[in-house]
Amino acid sequence: MNERASLATQFAEAARIVARIAAGASLTEQFARLSDEARESRAALIDLTHGTLRRYGRVQAIVAALARRGRPAPIVEALLWCSIYALESARYREHTVVDQAVKACGLIEQWPVKGFVNALLRRFLRERPVIEAQIATDAEAVHQHPRWWIDALRTAYRDEWHAMLAAGNGHPPMALRVNQRRIAPADYDAKLAANGTPARRIDAVGWLLETPLPVERVPGFAAGEVSVQDLGAQRAARCLDLHDGARVLDACAAPGGKTAHILELADVSLTALDIDATRAARIAPGLQRLGLTATIQVGDAARPEAWWDGRPFGRILADVPCSASGIVRRHPDIKWLRRAADLATFASQQRSILAGLWRVLAPGGKLLYATCSVFPQENDEVVEAFCAGERAAQRLPLPDGGPAQSLPDAERDGFFYALIQKQA
């Protein structure tokens, strides 16, 4: 299918998705519900939707500056956002974008606005320098994050906030974790070279691909020799201070990447717990691909009386729900769906989970508190308050020697880890 024949359809589908996101829907859920026809152009849809949402603050400001007669209907506004992104991405010829955006108006049943869409996009191309100057003082347009998010990072990270915002607008790296139970790291290194897959080895089992690949094209993936997992996420299992024979709980375990890494590192008895039955069902297939096994349970980590058998765990990974502010480049809708008040809500939930899991941790055992957040309200503040209120809780240095808070950069996402021991 040539560019002209397909782009209008892609614009229409992307506009429908982005309009739903603007109304509060989840981008992940929208892609899970794609029609069979839309799935055929998935790569193009990912580019249009994710690209638009990464630049959401900017494209919103541009369309607002150009729409002299007021805001158009939400679906038309979303089409314009996607079209502005497409023009700025330079992936398509300018006249093709304008022509196909106009054709997409019919596909989204907005025939009367064809002239409006055509005029607005052509005006953007003519007056781009003027528009740029007009939005230059709009913080959301410049940094492409909500204002409250910008302010929160500026307060918490006086020196790093600008780089963190820039990282949140970029494309995520793709990292691999070798399953040493299936292949030696040196042999996998040779396999990458033999397959002509450029990658850089970062540590004992972690590689960073120079260019992201569809998972089915990753050498050894189908054979269970390797998993796709961010380098920041790979710290979790290493920071849990594992040993053979331990009884381990991976709380909030789905989709199971950290569960698998724990089982790859040590011979342990592992229970993988998740509150969502649908998400919990995704754990077993991943373990099966890697040749690993675990006990999988559905239950609320904050209410262990509903699922716990009374035998304490020596190690617990508490990968708690959070704002996901450290991984927004992978899920660009998150920064626009979150609200400042959500941080307090997450912190309350995190405290409840910590309290519940503390009850099932053995004396002398260790609990690793983990988030993919960069906001202190969900991280240090939660851990410090918990340790202050629990006499038996002692925070320990992380076994890998790394910082508690890692910030998103070119190699990894942002994660927080805190290891807490229950004194005997």
Residues annotated as part of the active site: 372
Distance CA 18, CA 335 (A): 14
Residue 53: which H helix or E strand, with range? helix 42-54
Question: Residue 368: beta bridge partners?
Answer: 317, 419
DSSP 3-state of 211: coil
Of residues 253, 350, 357, the one with CA closest to residue 308: 357
Beta strand pairing call for 247-251 and 269-274: parallel
Distance CA 101, CA 117 (A): 7
Alpha-carbon dihedral 13, 17, 18, 23, rounded to 10 degrees: 140
Q: What are phi and psi for residue 120, nearest 5 degrees?
A: -65, -45
Distance CA 206, CA 192 (A): 13
DSSP 3-state of 13: helix
Q: Are 306 and 232 in contact (CB under 8 A)?
A: no
DSSP 205: S
Task: Answer left, alpha or beta for residue 293, where phi above 0 means left and psi between -120 and 50 means alpha.
Answer: beta
CA-to-CA separations, 116 to 111, 188, 335, 343, in angstroms, rounded: 10, 55, 30, 40
DSSP 373: -
Distance CA 255, CA 258 (A): 8
Question: Which residues lie below 8 Å from residue 284, measured CB to CB, with a gap of 6+?
Answer: 256, 296
Residue 126: which H helix or E strand, with range? helix 114-126
